[in-house]
Amino acid sequence: MSKSLDRLTLLETFVRIVEAGSVSAAARDLGLSQPSASRQLAELEARFKSQLVVRTTHDLSLTPTGAELLTDVRQLLDQWEALQEKYLNTEGEVRGQLKIVAPVALGQQCLTESALGFQQHYPQVALSWQLQDGNIRFAEAGCDCWFKIGPVTDSTLVVDSLGTVERLAVATPKLLAAVPTSPRELETLPWISLVPFEGDRIPLSHPSGQSVTLSPAIRLATNNIFALKQAVLAGAGAAILPKWFIQNALQTGELIDILPEWRAPSLTVNVAYRRGRHQPLRLRRFIEWVTADISSLFDE
Amino acid sequence: MSKSLDRLTLLETFVRIVEAGSVSAAARDLGLSQPSASRQLAELEARFKSQLVVRTTHDLSLTPTGAELLTDVRQLLDQWEALQEKYLNTEGEVRGQLKIVAPVALGQQCLTESALGFQQHYPQVALSWQLQDGNIRFAEAGCDCWFKIGPVTDSTLVVDSLGTVERLAVATPKLLAAVPTSPRELETLPWISLVPFEGDRIPLSHPSGQSVTLSPAIRLATNNIFALKQAVLAGAGAAILPKWFIQNALQTGELIDILPEWRAPSLTVNVAYRRGRHQPLRLRRFIEWVTADISSLFDE
DNA sequence: AGCGGTTACGAAAGACGTAAGGATG
DNA sequence: CATCCTTACGTCTTTCGTAACCGCT
């Protein structure tokens, strides 16, 4: 067992290997030769006297010990980085890597602009901008910050709410022979649903407190909100869509807010990040930036 | 600036240098040559781009930055050690160094036995047993755990109470011409005081809630409780002493509890240790051990 | 065969200790 | 002048990349 390989480097390499999903990829990221990275991992395992990563030929997975170690190591490295930022007189310089995961629609439509502004303001930060729906395995993904619509269940994360999205029933003017005045009339329309959020039952509520649940015929179900929007615009049916997503179409008159008094349950937009007292400065700045930028889009 | 000197080693050396009070001493502790330790410190300063330690010829002091860094570094190192303990399968083996500071009297009379028992039970732990009264600069002393009688003001420390000590007025039978029945009668006696705890005013209280403050003539003031006890035993005067300290003398009749109904304000026995989530296992065990051992001596 | 991980080896870089140089009380 | 820190230098350890080897899809 060698002696003087920097212990923190070993940990960083370990984290990178898990994040990259392979030793070779991590080596490229780190500017090392592949054998070096491999050796460092082996060395770490030797020091901890236990296997951390199972290397199969084309895949790589964590042992239970490795998974647990990973989260603890991240905390330690965060703390080291906090030390750096605090004492290395960089005068509040913001730099480093930042990996963000966000839902496709949200990222594409709202966040990207904000992120580009951030990028321009802090050119030393390398942003990795991953748009992807559904749950992610935060711990292994190696992302710094995850935007999500709806609740986040992972208790190892800290979750801040950015606001709530108003969701409403829309359709093209054409589809609506007569503009309905009560929710029940909507049940006769063809309907399109977004799978993670709606099934075949559509709850609606009125400011008065009144609420109904529609069970319309679902003509199309998709997990892609753009496909859904396209279908709605083509007149294929009515759908529940978040207000921020179709605001333009409402203004141009392409889509109509069918029942302005009725709303589907609103969803919370959350931003989640790793627990631990020491967030890197660039992450704090990023979250502040985006929060300020987009909070006007959502209801408080 | 060199590259591959282990960052954690650098931090450890820095801490050791501050604790030892000199580079040479730290080098001896660490099994390094003196230039090596010196270089490591220089290297750390270079990496943080600021001076941490001021080296005068025969002394050594921290810069403000260095002092602040020191506490943060200790936290980081504690976290590293926690990682070691958690993943290095030592099967709950308790080992390492432990430096304890306690008041002379308390350490000599109560704690030493307990510490020796601990030592025997965990032979792999190297105990450094420093008995010293007064306030210590915990941050620079490099001790793991500090016993203190009375309040601890350092807000960077976590303080647990071990109980309170009952303090009472004692004297030799000889000194007491007649056994007094009210506090005021004590003011005519010669009196001996323990400087950090009493001045020339002695407050006493009665279970009923009644209280008086005596202003006797102080014949002797000392900061050493053994000297004080010796003086009292020699009949030089009366004094306020903690019950645990003179229990034997009370039983043998050498000393008399002058006013069994009256007591001086009791003091709290505290154990203080560094803040931070990750206490080394050996420290947790030690505190548990001592707490269990001596709690019976004090009132809850 | 192609991609990924491990082992072997020569080259280069870095850290250590010994020894000499300065500063301070 | 004794003590402590720093600088200079030669030696030795250690790590790196290249290249060869093995396993799997």
Give the distance, in angstroms, between residue B187 CA and nucleotide D7 C1'.
68
Residue of A nearest to B7 (CA): A6
To the nearest whole angstrom, how far is the Cα of B57 from the nearest Cα of chain A? 26
The band of A299, judged by pLDDT with boundaries at 50, 70 and 90, is low
Check: CB of residue A241 under 8 Å from CB of residue A227: no
> How confident is the model at residue A89, as a pLDDT?
63
- Partners of residue B82 in chain A, C-beta under 8 Å: 72
Rounded CA-CA distance B69/B14 in Å is 10
Give the distance, in angstroms, between residue B4 CA and nucleotide C16 C1'.
14
Name the percent of chain A lying above pLDDT 90. Answer: 20
B290-296: list long-range contacts, CB under 8 Å, 24+ apart: B290/B111, B290/B114, B290/B115, B290/B118, B290/B162, B291/B160, B291/B162, B293/B113, B293/B114, B293/B117, B294/B110, B294/B111, B294/B114, B294/B162, B295/B162, B295/B163
Q: Do B7 and A8 touch (CB under 8 A)?
A: yes
Residue A1 contacts B where some CB pair is shorter than 8 Å: no
Residue B252 contacts A where some CB pair is shorter than 8 Å: no
Considering only CA atoms, which residue is closest to the C1' of nucleotide D25? Answer: A58
Q: Which nucleotides of D are covered by protein (CB under 7 A)?
A: 3-8, 13-19, 23-25
More confident of the two residues A16 and B188: A16
Nearest nucleotide, CA B38 to C1': D5
> How confident is the model at residue B41, as a pLDDT?
92
Nearest nucleotide, CA B4 to C1': C14
The band of B257, judged by pLDDT with boundaries at 50, 70 and 90, is very high
Task: Provide Rg for chain B, Cα atoms.
Answer: 24
Residue of B nearest to A5 (CA): B6
Q: Which of A50, A51, A76 is most worth mutating to test chain B (most B CB atoms within 10 A of its CB)? A: A76
Q: Which nucleotides of C are covered by protein (CB under 7 A)?
A: 2-8, 13-19, 22-25
Q: Give chain B's mean pLDDT.
A: 86
The band of B6, judged by pLDDT with boundaries at 50, 70 and 90, is very high
Q: Name the DSSP class of A184.
A: G
The band of A300, judged by pLDDT with boundaries at 50, 70 and 90, is low
Q: Give chain A's mean pLDDT.
A: 85
Which stretch of DSSP H or E encloses residue A157?
A: strand A157-171
Nearest nucleotide, CA B21 to C1': D4
Residue A8 contacts B where some CB pair is shorter than 8 Å: yes
> How confident is the model at residue B288, as a pLDDT?
92
> How confident is the model at residue B300, as a pLDDT?
63
Secondary structure of A15-58 in the HEC alphabet?
HHHHHHCCHHHHHHHHCCCHHHHHHHHHHHHHHHCCCCEEEECC
- Partners of residue A278 in chain B, C-beta under 8 Å: none
Give the mean pLDDT of B178-198: 80
Give the mean pLDDT of B152-166: 88
Give the distance, in angstroms, between residue B15 CA and nucleotide D17 C1'.
36
Q: What's the pTM value of the predicted model, to 2 decimals?
A: 0.78
β-pair type (A145-149, A125-131): unpaired
pLDDT in tens, B29-68: 888 888 999 999 999 998 998 889 988 877 788 888 888 9
> How confident is the model at residue B8, as a pLDDT?
95
> How confident is the model at residue A139, as a pLDDT?
76
Rounded CA-CA distance B199/B217 in Å is 11
Residues 51-90 of A with CB under 7 A from strand D: 56-58
Q: Do A87 and B48 touch (CB under 8 A)?
A: yes
> How confident is the model at residue B77, as a pLDDT?
92
Chain A / chain B CB contacts < 8 angstroms: 61
To the nearest whole angstrom, how far is the Cα of B68 from the nearest Cα of chain A? 9
The band of B168, judged by pLDDT with boundaries at 50, 70 and 90, is very high
Name the percent of chain B lying above pLDDT 90. Answer: 23
Considering only CA atoms, which residue is closest to the C1' of nucleotide D22? Answer: A57
What DSSP assignment string belongs to chain B? Answer: --S-S-HHHHHHHHHHHHHHTSHHHHHHHHT--HHHHHHHHHHHHHHHTS--EEE-SS-EEE-HHHHHHHHHHHHHHHHHHHHHHHHS--TT---EEEEEEE-HHHIIIIIHHHHHHHHHH-TTEEEEEEE--S---HHHHT-SEEEEES----TTEEEEEEEEEEEEEEE-TTT-SS--SSGGGGGGS-EEEETTT--S-EEEE-TTS-EEEE---EEEEES-HHHHHHHHHTTS-EEEEEHHHHHHHHHHTSSEES-TT-BEEEEEEEEEEE-SS---HHHHHHHHHHHHHHGGGSB-
Check: CB of residue B271 under 8 Å from CB of residue B291: yes
> How confident is the model at residue A1, as a pLDDT?
67
More confident of the two residues A73 and B189: A73
pLDDT in tens, A81-106: 889 888 886 666 787 888 888 888 88
Residues by Cβ under 7 A, strand C: A 4, 22-25, 34-35, 38-39, 41-42, 55, 57-58, 60; B 2-5, 31-36, 39-40, 56-58
Give the distance, in angstroms, between residue A47 CA and nucleotide C18 C1'.
32
Give the mean pLDDT of A198-222: 82
Rounded CA-CA distance B86/B97 in Å is 18
Give the mean pLDDT of A20-32: 86
> How confident is the model at residue B140, as a pLDDT?
77
> How confident is the model at residue B287, as a pLDDT?
92
> How confident is the model at residue B151, as a pLDDT?
86
Considering only CA atoms, which residue is closest to the C1' of nucleotide D18? Answer: A33
Distance of CA B204 to the CA centre of its chain: 26
Which range is least confidently modeled, A161-170, B47-56, B92-101?
B92-101
Find where tokens 């590259």 sit: B3
Q: Name the DSSP class of A108.
A: I
The band of B89, judged by pLDDT with boundaries at 50, 70 and 90, is low
pLDDT in tens, A241-265: 998 889 889 999 999 999 999 999 8
Sorted by sequence, the CB contacts under 8 Å of residue A234 that are 6+ apart come out as none
- Comparing CB atoms, the residue among A5, A72, A83 nearest residue B83 is A72
Count of Cβ atoms closer than 10 Å to residue A292 Cβ: 10
More confident of the two residues A94 and A57: A94
Residue of A nearest to B68 (CA): A87
pLDDT in tens, B124-156: 888 878 888 878 888 777 789 999 988 888 888
Residue B260 contacts A where some CB pair is shorter than 8 Å: no
Check: CB of residue A239 under 8 Å from CB of residue A220: no
Check: CB of residue B194 under 8 Å from CB of residue B222: yes
